[in-house]
Amino acid sequence: MSAELSPIDKAKFVAAKRAVDYVEDGMRVGLGTGSTAAWMVRCLGELVREEGMKITGVATSSRTAELARQVGVPVSTLDDVKWLDLTIDGADEYDSRLNLIKGGGGALLMEKIVATASDQMIVIADPTKQVETLGAFPLPVEVIPFGWQTSKALIEEMLGNFDVLGRTTSLRLANDQPFRTDEGNFILDLHLRKIGNPQQLSLALNQIPGVVENGLFLDICDIIVIGNGDGSVEVRDINNGTVEHEQIDIIDTDNLFVDIAD
């Protein structure tokens, strides 16, 4: 089955496989959302099924929780476990300081809560997600439905005070209807192209009435595992200042791929 994977899926898989090496028996693990995080959940499921590893997962979305249960990873709530040993998640964009944009999958609120309730956050990604300056990927901002157009107008007005290249905002849609998060909120996508000062922008966005959270994950990620289509990975540890390169064996393992929806 692995021979049929595209280079990008191989990159996601090897990043996920390397990242689960950080998971130890008995840990409480935050489970990210998105296509790359789905590979990580599958890898954890294999550890649970094949090696008998005991872990407790806290999912960042309903679809991640469903996938975790499918592959045999026990799922609990953050309220029940209180604190997590680590979280493994993907990213839509990352820079050299491991600052991130997340929320392309619409789960940024739960993702940020879970990540900040963890001793360590590990991000899994491929090289196409790296940028010199954040902002090429539209920045998601979660807003409550009530008065969302007012929130949108306030955001657009506020952006005039910031070092960005674009100020277009759009309501995210799904089947011609507003996309709704697991919490029932809307998402505004900010097409900024460049974010000159992410810290200031993040603080300003969260001061706007109606804004629940934004997709800037700043000073949260500790380690990033970057996978490549040839099976190699690069592991950057921001705290230790180390960069390691490894080769991951891609073996044929039907249990990892069969009958599981992404």
Residues catalogued as catalytic: 111
Q: Looking at the chain, how many residues does it have? A: 262
Consecutive H or E run containing 133: none
Question: Which residue, chain included where needed, has tokens 């069969």?
Answer: 258
Task: Say how far residue 49 (Cα) sits from the centre of its chain.
Answer: 25
- DSSP code of residue 12: H
Q: How far apart are CA 133 and CA 125, in angstroms?
A: 17
Strand runs (DSSP E) across the chain, as ranges?
A: 28-31, 56-59, 75-76, 86-89, 93-94, 100-101, 121-125, 139-143, 168-171, 173-174, 177-178, 186-191, 211-214, 216-217, 223-227, 232-237, 242-247
Cβ atoms within 10 Å, residue 249:
8
